[in-house]
Amino acid sequence: METSAKILAILNLLGVVQALLLAAALLGVKRGNRTANRFLAAFAVVLALSVGGATLASEPLLFAFPHMLKVQDSITLLGAPLLFLYIRTLIKGNSESGKQDLLHFIPAGLCFLFLAPFYFQSAEAKLASIGSNFHFWSRWTDVRSTTLLIQVISYLVLIVLMLKEYSRKLRQQTSPAENHVLFQVRFLLGSFAALWIIGALKFLVTLLNPAYDTPTVDMIIPASVTVFVYATAYIGLSSGEGLAGTGDSSHVAKRYEKSTLTVERSDTYLKRLLELMNTEKPYLDGNITLQKLAKALAISPHHLSQTIN
């Protein structure tokens, strides 16, 4: 293996450890949107397995880890759907989750079923298959890479549409937590788009000129994903909000679904409340209560409570 490929392999394996630590940290977080955290943790595990599989299945490491051959082929097809579900849950809460979400994983499932006979072969049989059926596996790599590129760009479009809707909402009313979510989504979207561009360029270059298909070039995409993992972990650790997101507010909506307070009146009450906070500063009163605040605003305590929630 070339020296540059060895260095990239070491960095990639360190990235695998970082991704698994990130997944463990997310699963241990008790605050924020825990469903979104589970999706992101699963996404981190997929990145770890994809990078680890691609690194250990490269020459000459594949002779030491033959069972890692093609492992990442089906696993990588889980990445884009999990990122989409994470961002959707982060932005919209759990209200849109359901059994239909399993449809997102059909491509990965079909890929696994296709490769299952290969997965259950012995190490010697796998190495022999790669050596004797080079043209078949080369065509398979092209088909799988094309499918992955189409899948990722499709989910990127869906995420962009969600981001536009969310940004439009924040123009009317925003909070520090929502601004953090917007920054986080933009970071993930931009980074994932950059990974797609790198992958597409690598695919086209090696397709047009197989001479560039070297161990070092093979390590470019896993190395790029490793950088993405480190950046994601840094964003989570450097921000007070972390990667936990905001809590799911769907239970609040259900609690007030029979209320007579309309959205328009709630917005009016909110403006009056903010104006009162800025002018009279009632929060400086140590004895302030919800009832006193509602009386000062000339609205019912129940509607004030709902507006605040």
Confidence of residue 211 (pLDDT cuts 50, 70, 90): confident
Q: What percent of the chain has pLDDT over 70?
A: 86
DSSP string, 246-277: PPP-HHHHHHTTT----HHHHHHHHHHHHHHH
Residue 144 and residue 50: Cα distance in Å, rounded?
14
Of 36-50, 73-87, 275-289, the one with minimum mean pLDDT is: 275-289
Whether 261 has a pLDDT exceeding 90, the answer reads no
Mean pLDDT (whole number) for 63-68: 84
What's the pLDDT at 305? 81
Average predicted confidence (pLDDT) for the chain? 82
pLDDT tens readout for residues 12-54: 888 899 899 889 988 887 766 788 888 989 999 999 999 988 8
- Predicted local distance difference test score (pLDDT) of residue 172: 62
Residue range 220-253, pLDDT digits in tens: 888 888 888 888 777 766 554 445 555 554 454 5
Nearest to 184 by CA among 91, 97, 46: 91
Q: Which residues contact 19 (CB under 8 A, 6 or more apart)?
A: 44, 45, 47, 48, 51, 229
Highest mean pLDDT pick, 4-18, 166-180, 238-252: 4-18
Helices 290-297, 301-308: inter-axial angle, 10-degree rounding? 100
Least confident range from 87-91, 181-185, 254-258: namely 254-258
Mean pLDDT (whole number) for 196-214: 83
How large a percentage of the chain has pLDDT more than 90?
Answer: 23
CB 64 within 8 A of CB 219: no
Lowest mean pLDDT among 92-96, 144-148, 172-176: 172-176
Residue 258: phi and psi, rounded to 5, are -100, 10
Rounded to two decimals, the pTM is: 0.72
Alpha carbons 138 and 70: distance in angstroms, whole number: 12
pLDDT computed for residue 166 by the predictor? 82
pLDDT of residue 185: 83
pLDDT at residue 59, rounded to an integer: 67
Residues whose CB is less than 8 angstroms from the CB of residue 214 and which lie 6 or more positions away in sequence, other chains included: 2, 5
